[in-house]
Structure formats: C-alpha cells, structure tokens
Structure 1
Amino acid sequence: MSYVDGFVLAVPTANKQKFIDHARQGDSVFMEYGATRVLECWGDDVPDGKQTDFRRAVKAKDDEAVVFSWIEWPDKPTRDAGMKKVMDDPRMKPEVNPMPFDGMRLIYGGFSPVVELGSKSKSS
C-alpha cells in the first residue's frame, strides 16, 4: 500500500516562477530518496467556503495563490527513511533553496490511502 504526504500553502502570485524553480529543485531530492511521484498544483479554482476553505487554512492574502501538493511513496517505511534523508540533505537547506513563500503558513501531513481508483502504469 502506498503512502502520501500532502501540503497546502500560500504563494505570492508574483513568485510563481520562483516557486516552480524551488519545487523542481526540491522535488528531485524527494524522488532521489524514494518518492514515486510528486505533484505541485497551482490554485485555479479555489472557492471561498462558508465555514472554512483552502485560502483560510493557510491565511492566503489577496495577492497569493493556494498551492496543493503531494508526494507519493511506495509505503510508510520508505517515506520515513526517505524523509529523514531529505531533511538532512544540504540541497534542501533554506540558504541553498530558499522558500518563496511563508513557511509558517504551510500545512502538511502524512496519509495512508484507504480507497484508490484508477490504473497504475504497467511496464511491458
């Protein structure tokens, strides 16, 4: 069974390309340490809710976009070992790959899938 780390964050719209560059550099490190897939999704249709919503969850300002991201791992032990290596990797240090967003408003968590529909790619 796979394992998923999920993230929601607010990024200044003026920093979209900086975010993409930051993600490309950082996401390759996750892949190197065992992740099977990483998706970074720029908010396109993020409506205001009546009680809560993505924007409020990360205290997004008017000039910020919500980003929804996830990292897929083959299993939790691979994720735990890989995440430790990622956090220790010098390429992930803020002075090497600075975050173009307020990391204090990033929300994240690890999740065990309970339902999965669709097909996985099969090698021939």
Structure 2
Amino acid sequence: MSYVDGFLLPVPKKNLAAYKKMAAKAGKIWREHGALDFRESVSDDESVKFGLPFSKIAKLKKGEVVLFSYIVFKSRAHRDKVNARVMKDSRLQAMCPDPKKMPFDVKRMGYGGFRTIVSA
C-alpha cells in the first residue's frame, strides 16, 4: 500500500497566488525525485453538518483560507528517500530561504505521515 504525507495549513487570501506559484514549483521537484502524486487543494465548502470543518481545526484568522495538501509515495521507505533528496535540492532551498517570508505561517502548518489502509 502507498504512503501519504498530509498537510493542513492556513494561508492568508492575499498570499494565495504566491502560495500557488510556490506549490507548483515544489510539486515538480517532488515528482522529479519520485513522488507519485502531489496535490494542493483550497477550501471551497466548509458548510458541514457533522464533525468539524477544517477551518475550525486550522483555527483560521480573518482573511485566511485553509489548504489541504498531500504527497503520495510507494511506501514509507520510499517517502523517506524522496524527501531526503528533495530537502537537499537547491531549488527547494532557494524557494524557502527565510521562513518569515513564506506565504503562510510555518508554525501553524499541520503535517503527518500516513499509511494507506484502503485504496479503492
């Protein structure tokens, strides 16, 4: 079964275009290094009738939207190898020279690695 790195992060609406541009570049880098899929999704429907909407989980501030993103790998071992290569890639390092200048607050980003248990 595949392995997925998942992300949940708040992004100021005014920074959404910059984030999209950065994510498109990052996606190409991850795919070049072996990731099977790379997706970035912006919240569109938060009117849930049960559970908690992602906007509440991400504790959105006024003027922010929530993004749900994921990267798919063959396995956890594959993820570890791909991510090690990505983190050494000078193109990624050039995109993120100063965490304070990112289009989102890195400290508020949710992240986790997940084993796939169902694939339909």
Match of 2:110? Answer: 107
Scaled by the length of structure 1, the TM-score of the pair is: 0.83
- 3-state SS in 1 of match to 2:103: coil
Give the deviation of 1:47 after TM superposition: 3.9
Matched to 1:95, the amino acid is: P
Match of 1:83? Answer: 83
CA contact (8 A) 1:6 1:70 kept: yes
Matched to 2:91, the amino acid is: R
Alpha-carbon RMSD: 2.1
More helix as a share of residues: 2
Hey, what's the Cα distance between the residues in 1 that align with 2:86 and 2:46? 30
Residues 44-88 of structure 1: CA distance to partner in whole angstroms, max 9, x if unpaired?
A: 012478885422332211200000000011121111101111112
Hey, what's the Cα distance between the residues in 1 that align with 2:61 and 2:113? 26
Identical positions, percent: 36
Hey, what's the Cα distance between the residues in 1 that align with 2:24 and 2:98? 13
Hey, what's the Cα distance between the residues in 2 that align with 1:52 and 1:110? 21
- Gaps of at least 5 residues in structure 2 are none
Match of 1:121? Answer: none
Hey, what's the Cα distance between the residues in 2 that align with 1:49 and 1:57? 15
**Distance change (3 Å), C-alpha of 1:49 and 1:101:** farther
**Distance change (3 Å), C-alpha of 1:3 and 1:10:** same
- 3-state SS in 2 of match to 1:85: helix
- 3-state SS in 2 of match to 1:65: strand
Scaled by the length of structure 2, the TM-score of the pair is: 0.86
**Distance change (3 Å), C-alpha of 1:15 and 1:4:** same
Match of 1:15? Answer: 15
Question: Segments of 4+ in structure 1 off by > 3 A?
Answer: 47-53
Write out aligned runs for 1:11-50 (5 A): 11-47=11-47
- Gaps of at least 5 residues in structure 1 are 118-124
